């Protein structure tokens, strides 16, 4: 088979591990792998080159993507789906293996509906692609964010400060909840559940009245608030929380915005393993001609699921995990 391979949307650690697995297993089975540069853009613009095992040596532990990536969706631009089809015909691609988050995989589904054979692989540090329990990149980002929370505890305690840390997650709070629980944060603000900042300030005061000298509050960048419009264009959710809590408690407060640090650098062993398993499964799924699918991590299994079920919007943090967070933090 001639397998086209692309990475779309925001980068994350573990993409190269998935690319390496697709190339090795594909090449071993007699496939030719064609890499497209910068996601769907490279397909439309014809930016492609053959990928070999030799060329993908030593990339397992790398961050980012050797293919480059872009936030561009051909189904949102008139005529671009036809351009993708023409490019695929031109390069005699039998199947496109698409590594992406919900946006990129949503486009993959639209292209599949128009007759283009695709198999998806889920990745995003947000971990919110429906149909899979885990996405490539999430474990590494959660580990980085947890370490940041650990570090903020010690500096916060030394200065008796209120430490607010903003983590990524525009529409879901997977990173905030996971790093918050794993790092022992005192409060977590997330998109799944509006935070009443006045009430949170009182709860933090009570904590300090009972003997704590500092608190760490984890805020998802997409956190929502009761009775507060949220951040304006110049603000972030973390800044809203830091300003309001400082105002209401009078405590000395510091804000840390982790930003793209969470997306960079070497993937954890868990992400390398997941990316490798998904890459291998994607090649087998392509060989089986099971198109319009995404290989998903479900409990201990990797399975191909329909892409139609993926293009339904982001997967929120489930109630059982929110419950754990509620029991260990103040609100």
| Least gap, CB of 89 to ligand F6P (angstroms) | 31
| Least gap, CB of 259 to ligand F6P (angstroms) | 8
Indicate the residue among 24 and 263 with the shorter CB distance to ligand F6P.
263
Sign of CA dihedral 53, 57, 62, 64: negative
Indicate the residue among 9 and 42 with the shorter CB distance to ligand F6P.
9
The tokens 């099971």 sit on which residue?
Answer: 290
Residue 128 within binding range of ligand F6P, rule CB under 6 A: no
Residue 126 within binding range of ligand F6P, rule CB under 6 A: yes
Angstrom distance (rounded) from CA 237 to CA 147: 21
- Residue 306 near residue 292 (C-beta atoms within 8 A): yes
- Residue 112 near residue 105 (C-beta atoms within 8 A): no
- Residue 238 near residue 255 (C-beta atoms within 8 A): yes
Residue 104 within binding range of ligand F6P, rule CB under 6 A: no
Residue 77 within binding range of ligand F6P, rule CB under 6 A: no
* Size of site (CB under 6 A) for ligand F6P: 12
Angstrom distance (rounded) from CA 201 to CA 247: 9
Tokens describing residue 73: 């969706």
Q: Which x/- pattern, by CB under 6 A, does the window 160-199 give for ligand F6P? A: --------xxx-----------------------------
Indicate the residue among 235 and 289 with the shorter CB distance to ligand F6P.
235
Residue 124 within binding range of ligand F6P, rule CB under 6 A: yes
Which of the residues 16 through 55 are near ligand F6P (CB under 6 A)?
none
Angstrom distance (rounded) from CA 303 to CA 287: 14
Indicate the residue among 125 and 241 with the shorter CB distance to ligand F6P.
125
Sort strands 187-189 and 118-122 into parallel, antiparallel or unpaired. unpaired
Tell me whether residue 292 is one of the annotated catalytic residues.
no
Which of the residues 215 through 274 are near ligand F6P (CB under 6 A)?
221, 263
- The active-site residue, picked from 11, 80, 126, 139, is 126
Angstrom distance (rounded) from CA 69 to CA 18: 14
Indicate the residue among 20 and 263 with the shorter CB distance to ligand F6P.
263
> Strand, coil or helix: what is 315?
coil
* Maximum alpha-carbon separation in the chain: 70
Indicate the residue among 71 and 228 with the shorter CB distance to ligand F6P.
71
The tokens 């105002």 sit on which residue?
Answer: 247
79: left (phi over 0), alpha (psi -120 to 50) or beta: left
Nearest to 109 by CA among 314, 327, 311, 322: 311
> Out of 101, 173, 183, 238, which residue is the one contacting ligand F6P (CB under 6 A)?
101
| Least gap, CB of 209 to ligand F6P (angstroms) | 35
Active site residues: 126
Binding interface with ligand F6P (CB under 6 A): 9-10, 71, 101, 124-126, 168-170, 221, 263
């Amino acid at each position: 088979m001639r397998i086209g391979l692309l990475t779309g949307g925001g980068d994350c650690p573990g993409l190269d591990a998935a690319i390496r697995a697709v190339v090795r297993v594909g090449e071993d089975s007699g496939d030719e792998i064609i890499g497209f540069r910068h996601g769907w853009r490279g397909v439309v613009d014809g930016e492609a080159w053959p990928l070999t095992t030799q060329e993908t040596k030593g990339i397992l532990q790398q961050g980012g993507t050797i293919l480059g990536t872009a936030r561009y969706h051909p189904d949102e631009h008139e005529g671009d789906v036809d351009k993708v089809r023409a490019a695929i015909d031109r390069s005699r691609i039998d199947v496109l293996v698409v590594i992406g988050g919900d946006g990129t995989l949503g486009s993959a589904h639209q292209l599949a509906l128009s007759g283009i054979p695709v198999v998806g692989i889920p990745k995003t540090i947000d971990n919110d692609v429906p149909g899979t329990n885990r996405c490539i990149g999430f474990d590494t980002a959660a580990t980085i964010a947890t370490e940041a929370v650990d570090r903020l505890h010690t500096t916060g305690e030394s200065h008796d400060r209120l430490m607010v840390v903003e983590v990524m997650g525009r529409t879901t709070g997977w990173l905030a909840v996971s790093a918050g629980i794993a790092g022992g944060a005192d409060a977590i603000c997330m998109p799944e559940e509006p935070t009443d900042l006045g009430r949170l300030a009182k709860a933090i005061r009570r904590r300090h009245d009972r003997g704590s000298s500092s608190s760490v509050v984890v805020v998802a960048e997409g956190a929502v608030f009761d009775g507060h419009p949220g951040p304006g264009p110049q603000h972030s959710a973390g800044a809203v929380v830091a300003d309001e809590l400082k105002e209401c408690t009078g405590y000395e407060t510091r804000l840390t915005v982790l930003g793209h640090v969470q997306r960079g650098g070497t993937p954890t062993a868990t992400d390398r393993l997941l990316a490798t398993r998904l890459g291998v499964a994607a090649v087998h799924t392509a060989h089986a001609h099971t198109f319009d699918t995404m290989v998903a991590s479900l409990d201990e299994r990797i399975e191909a699921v329909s892409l139609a079920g993926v293009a339904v919007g982001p997967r929120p943090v489930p109630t059982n995990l929110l419950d754990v967070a509620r029991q260990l933090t103040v609100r």
